[in-house]
Amino acid sequence: MIVHMRWTVSILFLLGVCPMAATCNAIQQTHWQQATPAAGLASSYTINLGGSELHVDFAPGALELGDEAVLAHIRMAAEAVVAYYGRFPVSRARVLVVPIAGRGGEPEGTTWGDMGGYPGFTRLRVGEHTTQADLNNDWVTTHELVHMAFPSQERQHHWIEEGLATYVEPLARVKTGELKAEKVWADMVNGMPQGEPQSGDQGLDHTHTWGRTYWGGALFCLVADVEIRHQTHDRKGLEDALRAIVDAGGTIDQQWPIEKAFEIGDRATGTQVLTTMYAAWKDAPVTVDLDKLWSELGVKHVGDGVEFVPGAPEAAIRQSIAGGAASSH
């Protein structure tokens, strides 16, 4: 979840205050160093990500896991972001870990831009009784850090912020080996129908339901990714467009019109996919024939999972997006 600057001052006032790294060639050096905590903090660390620094502060409170496990989890999430974007999107970012007494389960997160001298700031609420298994199942940490890799938008464009993070998060984790392609495609097959327009839908810019904001935005990203790859004969993808936006300075600390971001992305791929799709999707319900899309990509829904179909027309595009060899079945 992302929150814009106009709400941040009051929120902060209320606060009072991976083994997979070898697969990420863009990370020249990744470790953490303990730092002297500021007043009101229990401990502080710095994680170096190539040319970027991620400052991790722990607010006072009990965590049965201890700092090291949470730090390793945050580092792995950051490495996934680097693997997808080629670098960490901002030069300096901060993660504030807030222990929640009496709670367990997976972390909860919120991200802001341009806070306290940091281009990106994430508050991560971690339960006192959160286990390593909870961290292993967590997607929120990576999702929140992905938010730093797109310019802040007005409310009507919230769908691209949340949809992009929903789409990119698992693909980034595939790149580091944290997730398998079969898991990612199964989640897409199960989740993408929630992003289809329902009765009364007025397009992504005007329909702010949970399904259209998260999964509708993710569906836009998936269709754009496939179309970019189709038009460029799989030489470019959405990943190239998003990297170009970041390289042009389009990160969470900047307020950009959505059109500017999409124009930069389109130039990077040599297409007009993002601009054309946005014009069609923003003010009107656009339904995607998902059964046809899965068939073309060679993704077959079987039970709770998927199998990959050999010889599917767009099997190579599926592999470029999230990997996964053709099934022998």
pTM of this structure: 0.89
When mean pLDDT is compared across 8-22, 84-98, 196-210, 231-245, the lowest value belongs to 8-22
What digits encode the pLDDT tens for the residues 252-284? 999 999 999 999 999 999 999 999 999 999 999
Contact predicate 215/194, CB 8 Å: yes
- pLDDT score for 17: 39
What digits encode the pLDDT tens for the residues 25-47? 443 344 778 888 889 999 999 99
Q: Which residue has the higher pLDDT, 14 or 95?
A: 95
Contact predicate 99/59, CB 8 Å: yes
Letter for the amino acid at 145? L
User: What are the E-state strand segments in the chain?
Assistant: 32-35, 43-49, 52-58, 92-100, 108-115, 118-127, 299-302, 305-308
- % of residues, the chain, pLDDT over 70: 89
Q: Which two tokens stand for residue 278?
A: 């946005």
Separation of alpha carbons 164 and 159, rounded Å: 8
- pLDDT score for 37: 87
Which residues partner with 125 through β-bridges? 98, 108
pLDDT at 63 over 90: yes
The chain-wide mean pLDDT, for the chain, equals 90
